[in-house]
A and B are shown apart, each in its own frame.
Chain A
């Protein structure tokens, strides 16, 4: 405890320095994005059906190849932002499975008719049950699954070209051959 007085007097300055550094880092992080604990884990099971039909669709139907699972809804404004990119990805051969989250079949189908469908399959999740198990908290959210059905990445909020190229495309390419980012 017998530190010289000037050492004590330096303590506030040091604390300030630490705080400023912390805030400088903090300013570069988005506090709203909450990473999913499911990354690296098998995608949760579900037992739903295809929108507008009675055909069942289960977790097992996602296995065998890398897929994007995109939770969307007709009432979701931000979903329209990422829609052109999804359509483009679908044209490039990426398999996207749509989960129509907390929506009615009629509304969902109408929305897809109006904006075009990037989905190879559209699954109805009217009560958001699968959404709850997958940890969805605000649509749009997009999960990247590998061929074994493991979640390897999760995008919260609208997908953008940058994220696709730097994060998702390499992950999907690891599982199969794709033409990526050649626009």
Chain B
């Protein structure tokens, strides 16, 4: 539901008007194809702090333009992706990384879903095992009703098919 954008993106749009000053996002032709690819990946994985939930690639805020420029320069001067990420987190914290680093406070985040999957599969297997030999259950009234309903339906559909 990317509907109703609130005030924030409006503010961002206004910023964009004000900030056309020096944000030539045109990525230089000087980059090798590999570098260009790294640039695209990096700017798409860094979060702009001004417009909040936007990457610096998508944000039109001046800060995003500055950061794009930084990323570009640092790639050109031969720094690695990790070094560039360090550069940004040293200033803005882990918040700017859309890919949260794997550390004690994010173990649950990264491993949680897979742990849950194993747990759920385990439960499902146990459940199925127990169900293979069903306990004799005397159908309660409701079930009997349902049985009757099913029979009626079957008759109904047979009639219509003819």
Contact = CB atoms under 8 A, between A and B. Distances in A.
Interface in B90-145: 90-93, 95, 122-123, 126
A25 interface: no
B52 interface: yes
Interface string B68-101: 0010000000000000000001111101000000
B49 A102 contact: no
A132 B122 CA distance: 50
A34 B70 CA distance: 21
A36 B90 CA distance: 9
Contacts of B90: 37-38
A132 B70 contact: yes
B123 A1 contact: yes
A128 interface: yes
B45 interface: no
A29 interface: no
A138 B91 contact: no
Contacts of A38: 90-91
B123 to A, nearest CB: 7
A167 B49 CA distance: 24
Contacts of B126: 1
A1 B122 CA distance: 9
Interface residues of B, number: 18
Given A75-B18, A137-B63, A37 B122 contact: no
Given A1-B122, A1-B123, A138 B50 contact: yes
B139 to A, nearest CB: 19
A102 B50 contact: no
Given A32-B52, A75-B18, A102 B91 contact: no
Contact of A34 (B18, B66, B92): B92
Contacts of A133: 91
A135 interface: yes
A34 B95 CA distance: 7
Contact of A102 (B52, B62, B92): B62
Contacts of A36: 92-93
Interface string B42-53: 000000011010
Interface of B: 18, 49-50, 52, 62-63, 66-67, 70, 89-93, 95, 122-123, 126
24 contacts: A1-B123, A32-B52, A34-B92, A34-B93, A34-B95, A36-B92, A37-B89, A37-B93, A75-B18, A102-B62, A128-B62, A128-B63, A132-B63, A132-B66, A132-B70, A133-B91, A134-B91, A135-B91, A137-B49, A137-B63, A137-B92, A138-B49, A138-B50, A138-B63
Interface of A: 1, 32, 34-38, 75, 102, 128, 132-135, 137-138
